[in-house]
Amino acid sequence: MKCPRCQRSNFSHAATGPGTGVDVHVSRSGEPVIGPRTLVTMPALLLVVVLLLVPGWARAVDFKLKLPTGLQEDAAEIPDDNPISPEKIALGKKFYWDKRWSASKTVACVSCHRPDHGWSDPRTFSTDFAGKPTPRHAPTIVNRLFSDRQHWTGQRASLEEQAGLDINKTDEKVVEHLGTIPVYRQEFRAVFGRDLDPDGVAQAIATYVRTIVSGNSPYDRVQAGDQSAMSVAAQRGLRLFEGKAMCVRCHAGFNFTGEGYRNIGVGMNKPNPDLGRYTITKDDADKGAFKTPTLRDVAKRGPYMHDGSERTLADVVAFYNRGGVKNPWLSSDMKPLGLTAQEQADLVEFMKALTGQIDPEVSRPPHLPE
């Protein structure tokens, strides 16, 4: 990846010396390299040395995710203060699957984001730690590596914030439940160099989630030159997706989402509709708007929409073909499409061709310590 501040490739920022005007990088080999802005100062070099002595830090700088065909490394969102390492991934995976993470010890992240269901929930609404239904359908976490803001409304600024502020846990219970397990205490210290704390648990979970990436789908293989990878119907669906059906206006780019928010009318005919993004921004233009989800692996994870109101992909296409539900804040892109039954079926076949491959090890349940 390029350094986000100076655009140098294959380097991570270790520090920017306060008041020194110098960028300090660490190369993939773990060696300090000074950025091009000004002369080196001793405090900056000392800070690099300190960082390299932190448990797991140099190893994290060396680590590089292996992405399947069709995904773009330079689009990855990895915060400077939470670099990826194999040990942190393994620890985060355990936390993700461990129900003791929750306040009631009854749910884990995997309870609502299941690998056998496209990393979403087959239920319309999930069940929280108190046994109550969640207000919205659980969105997929596939390819969250390429997104900063999380949730249907963009409520959380990062995966770290999402894991740290999840409604199913409290900081006190995280430490009480997980911090009393000897294996977790040992592994946490090896990764972070300190006693187990809620921030580190959230960082570990976020790191694991960034490894849940799907690519090398039939669509990707076609783009790589194998024209036989997609069926004829799916190829017709692709042309519709990019043309008459106008799907690409929102589901854009290699991850099939522009990460924006649109009001397409879902639920807006109810007496008290969910106003979505508006609840965060208080901007009238955001009323009824929700994040455009990635379409990768979309065939695995019905029901669809933020309220789980559409049961199948065919239902979703029919909803768009009708032009959604009219309301004062409906996106200007929403209008009746005039698709024939065959064209609607072809669109579904194309979306099925976005089903990719996820490393089986990522989806395999870990052994949880006693």
27 and 110 in a single domain? The answer is no
Distance CA 246, CA 248 (A): 5
How many domains does the structure of the chain reveal?
3
pLDDT at 214 (0 to 100): 98
**Which structural domain, as residue segments, surrounds residue 106?**
73-214+359-363
224 and 210 in a single domain? The answer is no
Q: Which two tokens stand for residue 275?
A: 């106003």
Per the domain annotation, does 5 fall within a domain?
no
Per the domain annotation, does 202 fall within a domain?
yes
Q: Which residues of the chain fall short of a pLDDT of 70?
A: 1-62
299 and 281 in a single domain? The answer is yes
- DSSP-H helix ranges across 37-133: 42-53, 57-62, 86-97, 109-112
169 and 260 in a single domain? The answer is no
Distance CA 317, CA 108 (A): 32
- DSSP-H helix ranges across 156-230: 159-164, 171-178, 182-192, 198-209, 218-223
Structure-token match 């692996």, residue found? 297
pLDDT at 60 (0 to 100): 54
Per the domain annotation, does 183 fall within a domain?
yes
Instruction: Find out whether 23 and 13 touch, Cβ atoms under 8 Å.
Output: yes
137 and 229 in a single domain? The answer is no
pLDDT at 63 (0 to 100): 74
Per the domain annotation, does 295 fall within a domain?
yes
Per the domain annotation, does 77 fall within a domain?
yes
Per the domain annotation, does 313 fall within a domain?
yes
194 and 226 in a single domain? The answer is no
204 and 227 in a single domain? The answer is no
270 and 174 in a single domain? The answer is no
47 and 98 in a single domain? The answer is no
203 and 154 in a single domain? The answer is yes
Q: Which two tokens stand for residue 270?
A: 């109810």
201 and 100 in a single domain? The answer is yes
pLDDT at 256 (0 to 100): 98
257 and 209 in a single domain? The answer is no
Q: Tell me the CATH number at 84.
A: 1.10.760.10
Per the domain annotation, does 232 fall within a domain?
yes
pLDDT at 64 (0 to 100): 81
Per the domain annotation, does 254 fall within a domain?
yes
